[in-house]
Amino acid sequence: MEVFSKYFRRLLTGNAPQIFPGVNKSVENAGNYPLLVQEMQKVSSDIEQAQKIAETVDTSEGDIFRDFDLSTFLDHFRLDPIVKVALALAFKMTNKSDLRAKGKSPLLVCYGSAYMLISCPIS
Give pLDDT tens digits for 70-102: 989 999 999 888 888 899 889 989 999 888 888
Per-residue pLDDT band for 104 (boundaries 50, 70, 90) equals confident
Give the number of other Cβ atoms within 10 Å of residue 24's Cβ. 6
42 φψ region: left (φ > 0), alpha (ψ -120 to 50), beta (else)? alpha
Q: Stretch 35-43: mean pLDDT, rounded?
A: 96
State residue 26's pLDDT score: 72
Instruction: Give residue limits of the domains in the chain.
Output: 2-119
**CB of 24 closer than 8 Å to CB of 16:** no
Maximum CA extent, the chain: 53
Mean pLDDT of the chain: 84
More confident residue, 39 or 65: 39
> What's the rounded mean pLDDT across residues 44-52?
94
